[in-house]
């Protein structure tokens, strides 16, 4: 039976328990990926959003992997501003060569030593993607190395699986551009649920702009710190729709509180009688609690559907400790386990592109030069995951 | 290439350090199609160590935008060649 790409809108009619081959932990299958006959090296170049990253990964004969280097440079805009495609592309063009050189130096390898050059094919912002692909192509031609175009989301998932050792997890992919609940089935990362409008990180970033939080090191990080000082949980819309979520209405609602007459921008009461106030910290706290609760809910439902007890959180928002904590509480109640990473691997990086690229390269995949274009739209479930059973 | 006299033609000749580098630049840049193929016709070729680009555009504005984007791409490729060209050449002689 052909699988629909998305099952979220009509779960009951399409998904029958017998259709799902989801391997339970303990039920191991033969993996199509053979251990390499020699060590393999790959360099990965990532620049789909406001970070340019380069990393070198090594796959060893015993099947283990080691990260030789992982360098990143972030384009940080002033408070109140987001990153525009053109300016972001200019940032990558300026920093790419420095970052690539640093990553090769740290790994102590030469470009001659790598087996393939991996780059992000999509999804992401057009101009930054194109700039990075142009560099990847030039290097590929200069050193006569094969090119591997990588799906950004699959990069996140593969790096997460490698770093945490999760076997068959439900993947929550949360970043500034994507919000998806994903599970593996039949050589495809199937999207079980996703955002219907903006990504969760986009919602956080844009709210950070509303209350003039700094974008350094990341707006989401500053919201998390601010939320720790919050005392008041304000009512916000709770927008899960089956397996999907929606954030744009929540953003509007939380923004509306900043026009409330109880709102104090400096967070301080006017005088001793001024008790019923709303502070930016309260809004950060309320926003986080609401949207993370929604994410935990759809993740829990996906766990029930595929019968997995593992949760892997990837993407930039995945390094939020409050999200990890809330997910852990849910997982404990279901006797499950949460796998999460720190910012080195959660936030966009080059090493994840190298990891996913090298896996497909070892399965014989290569991107011919003529096909090495980039694309802003490239869904997670379009990729044939040939390296998994 | 067209009888329509409204088209604007621009030819750019960019010398490279070697014929090989010019060829690499051509191949790397060639991959990305023009965003408005109906309004911009691009022809790239290499003569010795010179990259020759010819653009036929429907409007002057498009001519400016297209050439600007092309030169930015050439700049990026040239800087990449400059940075990694010596390392790439070194290995061949070993």
Q: What is the pLDDT of residues A19-77, one digit of tens each?
A: 445 555 555 568 899 999 999 999 999 999 999 999 999 999 999 999 999 999 999 99
From chain B, pick out residues whose CB is under 8 angstroms from the CB of A139.
80, 84
Q: How many Å separate Cα A227 from the centre of its chain? A: 22
Contact B84 A141 (CB under 8 A): no
Same-domain status, A276 and A335: yes
Same-domain status, A321 and A356: no
The reply to whether A195 touches chain B by the CB within 8 Å rule is no
Interatomic CA distance for residues A8 and B52, integer angstroms: 52
How buried is B39 (Cβ within 10 angstroms: 0-12 exposed, 13-18 middle, 19+ buried)?
middle
| pLDDT score at A10 | 41
Same-domain status, A355 and A336: no
Contact A353, A156 (CB under 8 A): no
Same-domain status, A218 and A362: no
The reply to whether A86 touches chain B by the CB within 8 Å rule is no
| pLDDT score at B36 | 92
Same-domain status, A147 and A173: no
Contact A128, A48 (CB under 8 A): yes
| pLDDT score at A31 | 86
Same-domain status, A156 and A54: yes
Q: Among A337, A298, A292, which Cα is nearest to A317's?
A: A292
Q: What is the mean pLDDT of residues B11-22?
A: 97
Same-domain status, A132 and A230: no
| pLDDT score at A18 | 47
Please check if A348 is assigned to a binding site.
yes
Domain that holds residue A234: 168-342
Contact A137 B31 (CB under 8 A): yes
Q: Which residue of A has its CA nearest to B88?
A: A143
Interface of B with A in 35-74 (CB under 8 A): 72-73
Same-domain status, A251 and A367: no
Contact A111 B88 (CB under 8 A): yes
Please check if A360 is assigned to a binding site.
no
Task: List CB contacts of B82: < 8 A, sequence separation 6 or more.
Answer: none
| pLDDT score at A12 | 41
Tell me the CA distances in angstroms from B94 to A116, A282, A351, one per residue in order. 21, 65, 30
Tell me the CA distances in angstroms from A232 to A65, A252, A278, A279, one per residue in order. 46, 19, 8, 9
How buried is A37 (Cβ within 10 angstroms: 0-12 exposed, 13-18 middle, 19+ buried)?
exposed
The reply to whether A127 touches chain B by the CB within 8 Å rule is no
Please check if A92 is assigned to a binding site.
no
Contact B80 A97 (CB under 8 A): yes
Q: Counting one residue from A and one from B, how many pairs have CB atoms under 8 Å apart?
A: 58
ipTM of the shown complex: 0.93
Q: How far is B72 from chain A (nearest CA, A)?
A: 9
Same-domain status, A184 and A271: yes
Residue A28 lies in a domain: no
Contact A302, A326 (CB under 8 A): no
Same-domain status, A329 and A233: yes
| pLDDT score at A15 | 42
Q: Among A209, A46, A200, A366, which Cα is nearest to A55's?
A: A46
Buried b (16+ CB within 10 A) or exposed e, A55-76: bbbbbeeeeebebbbbbbbbbb
Edge-to-edge strand order for the sheet containing A170-174?
A: A189-194, A179-184, A170-174, A310-314, A337-339
Q: Among A122, A66, A65, A117, which Cα is nearest to A96's?
A: A117
Contact A350, A53 (CB under 8 A): yes
Residue A20 lies in a domain: no
Candidate from B72, B80, B91 with C-beta closest to A138: B80
Contact A28, A262 (CB under 8 A): no
Contact B33 A131 (CB under 8 A): no
Residue A6 lies in a domain: no
Q: Among B2, B3, B22, which Cα is nearest to B12's?
A: B22
| pLDDT score at A22 | 52
Task: List CB contacts of A28: < 8 A, sequence separation 6 or more.
Answer: none
Contact A134 B28 (CB under 8 A): yes
Give, in degrees to the nearest 5, the angle at Cα A86 between A320 and B41.
Answer: 140
Q: How far is A77 from chain B (nearest CA, A)?
A: 22
CATH code: domain of residue A65: 3.30.420.40
Q: Is the pLDDT of residue B6 over 90?
A: no
Residue A266 lies in a domain: yes
What stretches in chain A show pLDDT beneath 50?
Answer: 1-20
DSSP string covering B35-60, please? Answer: S-TTTEEEEEEEETTEEEEEEEESSH
Same-domain status, A281 and A310: yes
How buried is A359 (Cβ within 10 angstroms: 0-12 exposed, 13-18 middle, 19+ buried)?
buried
Q: Is the peptide bond before A340 cis (omega within 30 degrees of 0)?
A: no
| pLDDT score at A7 | 42
Would you say the C-alpha torsion B54, A126, A388, A116 has a positive or negative sign?
A: positive
Residue A203 lies in a domain: yes
Residue A18 lies in a domain: no
Q: What is the pLDDT of residues B44-84, one digit of tens each?
A: 999 999 999 999 999 999 999 999 999 999 999 999 999 99
Q: How far is A198 from chain B (nearest CA, A)?
A: 26
Residue A35 lies in a domain: no
Would you say the C-alpha torsion B34, B85, A90, A52 has a positive or negative sign?
A: positive
Q: Among A3, A42, A12, A129, which Cα is nearest to A358's?
A: A42
- Delineate the domains of chain B, giving CATH numbers in brackets: 8-89 (3.30.310.50)
Interatomic CA distance for residues A70 and A92, integer angstroms: 16
Same-domain status, A292 and A193: yes
Please check if A174 is assigned to a binding site.
yes
Q: Is the pLDDT of residue B38 over 60?
A: yes
Contact B76, A134 (CB under 8 A): yes
Query: How many structural domains does chain A have?
Result: 2
Tell me the CA distances in angstroms from A26 to A29, A123, A296, A309, A386, one per residue in order. 9, 34, 25, 12, 21
The reply to whether B88 touches chain A by the CB within 8 Å rule is yes
Residue A14 lies in a domain: no
């Amino acid at each position: 039976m052909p699988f629909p790409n998305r099952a979220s809108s009509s779960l009951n009619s399409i998904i029958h328990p017998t259709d799902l081959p989801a391997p339970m932990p303990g039920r191991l299958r033969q993996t199509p990926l053979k251990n390499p006959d020699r060590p393999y090296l790959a360099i990965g170049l990532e620049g789909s959003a406001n970070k340019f990253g380069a990393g070198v990964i090594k796959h060893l004969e015993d099947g283990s992997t080691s990260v030789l280097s992982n360098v990143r440079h972030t384009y940080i805009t002033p408070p109140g501003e987001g990153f525009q495609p053109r300016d972001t592309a200019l940032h990558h063009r300026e920093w790419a060569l420095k970052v690539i050189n640093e990553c090769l130096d740290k790994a102590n390898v030469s470009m001659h030593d790598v087996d393939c050059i991996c780059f992000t094919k999509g999804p992401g912002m057009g101009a930054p993607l194109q700039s990075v692909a142009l560099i990847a192509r030039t290097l590929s031609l200069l050193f006569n190395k094969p090119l591997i175009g990588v799906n950004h989301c699959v990069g996140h998932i593969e790096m997460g699986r490698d770093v945490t050792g999760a076997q068959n997890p439900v993947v929550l992919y949360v970043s500034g551009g994507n919000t998806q609940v994903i599970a593996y089935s039949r050589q495809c990362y199937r999207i079980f649920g996703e955002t219907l409008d903006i990504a969760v990180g986009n919602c956080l970033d844009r709210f950070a702009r509303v209350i003039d939080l700094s974008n350094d090191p990341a707006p989401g990080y500053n919201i998390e710190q601010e939320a720790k000082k919050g005392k008041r949980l304000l009512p916000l819309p709770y927008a899960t729709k089956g397996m999907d979520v929606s954030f744009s209405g929540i953003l509007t609602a939380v923004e509306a509180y900043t026009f409330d007459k109880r709102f104090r921008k400096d967070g301080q009461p006017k005088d001793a009688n001024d008790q019923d106030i709303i502070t930016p910290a309260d809004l950060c706290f309320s926003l986080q609690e609401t949207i993370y609760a929604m994410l935990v809910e759809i993740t829990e439902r996906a766990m029930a559907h595929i019968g997995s007890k593992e949760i892997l959180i990837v993407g930039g928002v995945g390094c939020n400790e409050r999200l990890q904590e809330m997910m852990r509480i849910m997982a404990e109640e279901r006797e499950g386990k949460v796998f999460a990473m720190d910012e080195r691997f959660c936030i966009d990086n080059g090493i994840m592109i190298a990891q996913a690229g090298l896996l497909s390269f070892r399965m014989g995949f290569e991107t011919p030069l003529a096909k090495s274009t980039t694309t802003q739209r490239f869904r997670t479930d379009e990729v044939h995951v040939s390296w998994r059973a | 290439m067209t009888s329509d006299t409204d088209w604007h033609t621009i030819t750019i000749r960019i010398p490279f350090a070697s014929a090989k580098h010019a060829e690499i630049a051509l191949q790397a840049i060639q991959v990305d199609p023009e965003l408005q193929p109906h309004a911009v016709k691009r022809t790239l070729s290499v003569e010795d160590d010179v990259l020759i680009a010819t653009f036929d555009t429907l409007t002057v504005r498009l001519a400016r935008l297209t050439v600007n984007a092309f030169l930015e791409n050439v700049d990026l490729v040239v800087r990449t060649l400059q940075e990694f060209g010596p390392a790439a050449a070194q290995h061949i002689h070993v």
